[in-house]
Chains A and B, each alone.
Chain A
Amino acid sequence: MMNEMNFKMPASLNELALNLDNADEKTYLISGGTDLIIKLREKKIYSGTIIDLKGIQELNYIRQIEQTICIGANTTFTEMIHSEILIKNAPCLVQAAEQIGSTQIRNAATIGGNIANAFAGADAIPALIAMGVKVKMMNAKGEFFLKDIDEVVIGSGKNSLHKDEVITEVIAPVLGHGYKSFFGKVGSRERVTIAKLNMAVVVKNNHETGVIEDARVVLGSLGPKAFRSDLVEIELVGKYITDSLQTEFEKALITQIDISIAGRSSRPYKREAVKALSEDAFSNLFGSPAWRCNNEK
């Protein structure tokens, strides 16, 4: 028993809770597969218990319940891309899902797995932080609890879950009237973090006054963990949408990069790369003439 690999296939959350009892550091949860399989091979793990979450049908859904969107942990990125609910209410999550890996990876990888693995370049995380999502988890007693995405993701491949806890759902608010969202990235698909930068933005624009009332700007790949940039957000809030604001936005992003990765060899590349990203963000969020400000005073 000690030297072999066990495999558990719970078909329901109840069964999963039973499987999580006695979970220890040799218990491995698998959903999409991608990350765990690499780990099993790299770390030469030959014994322990693998719990396959993929057979739990009740964790596969995207539902809107009034002002919240609930995404089951087993939902794949391909399923997110095709979800009318997300396309309408959380475009940045769809944009992030579209830019993850390749078709094969999007068909297999799940939102729950992406959060649990929390590696620095995990593309879904910045968009999830910008959306202000909560993560629902279950423990071995079958009890559910909620945490902010920021508390769950520690970064560099670590999460704050205990061994007997599992992510079951992601809960996103429906963004209210006047809100828009964006996700973009530059750099290669390969796992070379040096050549990667991603950003998610959620803004609220007051249609009557033309002023930005709320802004959340999250940058990924500038440290072990994606984070909200206060100094970039401050640059946007209370401003009219103009071309000069775009310049200020870009400058603030460059300042943030200088602060976050001072002295790193990736800094010159990322300073350049962020220019394209900020342009994309601006045209995506404020591109239509109705959004650009005509009544600048």
Chain B
Amino acid sequence: MNEQKIITSLDDNNVLLSVSGLKKYYPITGGLFKTHVNDVKAVDGISFAIKKGETLGLVGESGCGKSTAGRTILHLNKPTAGDIKFNLDGQMVDVNQRSIKRLRRHMQIVFQDPYSSLDPRMRVDEIIEEPLKAYGMKKDERKKRVAELLEAVGLGKSHMKRFPHEFSGGQRQRIGIARALALKPSLVICDEPVSALDVSVQAQVINLLKDLQDQFGLTYLFIAHDLSVVQYVSDRIAVMYLGKIVEIASSAELFLEPKHPYTEALLSAIPLPAVDYDREQIILEGDVPSPANPPSGCHFHTRCPYRQEICSQKEPSLQNINDGHQVACHFARELSLAAAPVISAI
């Protein structure tokens, strides 16, 4: 199939994670006997690959399945279908129920909500050493590693014996990052790590994540619900809509030459730092449709300003437009869409 080809087009040796045709459906049950009536198609066949050391941004409105995608890759949810492969010392290992035990230490996650992601009954050092304990590290070694990690994320030894509720959101997120790095993973999935934080703190945490990436050679899947956050961290960006990836490109290309109408709308929604000079913001019509009953044809056609008849009938597949730039739109080659305002102004 088309998707398969796209994956293999990336240089295999450099690929750390490859995902193909990944689906996660949540069953909806109803009636007296709790029979299966429908599925929430939270992730509906996504394919992408992440190269070693790069950051892939994953962007889309809330509810489009980003968290589900991240969690399913780590087998925190059981995938409904699809293949996930992880590069372990040069070998692409199938990520499944059995291999995941071995792979957990190489792939970690930072969660969105710093209040829900730390156990309120555990002290900071207990939280950070939990993964170390799970992998059988000895006590004095654990102590040393915890101190190291705290320093790496900009906290001090004095914080070790405190409870999570004594910290601010930004500090809590640092604790979560320290926990994710404890086992020296190569891939870290950052699930909207700054969405819950004050704007002033967001930049600090993003800078920390960038520093840590340089320091430890990390690879990120960086999830966000708008493009303004990911533009600073991502090498490439994947745009998601209703459980599907509609466009993937390098950050520069996505910002300068978006090919999908949905990407164009997201770009136009980026808040500008300085004066709000004249620009057209594309306001999408209507609400995001339900992932239980997605629209026919192209999922985006109900809100697309450029829709044609074919859009409601035939689903577009993700196609290579030029090297490494993939779009799922029938008119990707014909439309000329507006670039990101900030970048075009430079």
Partners in one complex: no
